Amino acid sequence: MGRSPPTGIAFFAAVDATVTELGGFNVIVNNAGIAPQSPIDEITPESIAKIFAINFNGVVWGVQAAARKLRELGHGGKIISAASQAGHVGNPGIGLYTATKFAVRGFTQTAARDLAKDGITVNTYAPGIVRTPLMEDLAKKTAESAGKPEEWGWAQFTDGITLGRLSEPSEVAGVVSFLAGADSNYITGQSILVDGGMVFN
């Protein structure tokens, strides 16, 4: 794949360290992300650059680093990245976050086709509303910016969940575990929704 780009060096180093410390490498999970509000009229070149650097570029470098190492080791593997329910249907108020997650899905589909010959599967998982500090912060800020109570902020994201409740992190982790294991060997280029029934395909 050639030399790693300067901005991706940390990813390549982390993969190398995994092999050194653990004696092998089979799976990478690209999970870093931020979800700031981005009202249309307030988007700037700086806000675009920041969120894409973390949410999208990080996935690109992670895929590069994983593919290079898996080829070097001479076996296939699993590349798993975080998409979002918002990467399937645009959500109000978070246009930039939504755009990055659509981009992750598109890049994943291409990577799945390009890396299949190496025995590498490439998929995403797409959580809905998960009870995490990031989601709590987003719900509070949404409410504050509208001058509404915190419960209103949560409702902007949770209304429409068919199962009627938020997801717990362990429920998302279960899907990631499935994608990392042998039961998903014949799945590639997919985005698996874990959203309690917010989006139906």
The label of the residue with tokens 């949560």 reads 154
Is 97 among the residues known to form the active site?
yes
* Residues contacting 63, CB < 8 A, separation 6+: 28, 30, 79, 81, 107, 111, 122
Name 167's bridge partners: 130
The token pair that represents 119 in the structure block: 């025995």
* Residues contacting 126, CB < 8 A, separation 6+: 83, 84, 85, 87, 88, 101, 105, 191, 192, 193, 194, 195
The residue from 11, 97, 125, 157 that is catalytic is 97
Q: Write the DSSP symbol of residue 129.
A: S
The token pair that represents 108 in the structure block: 């994943």
For the annotated catalytic residues, the residue numbers are 97
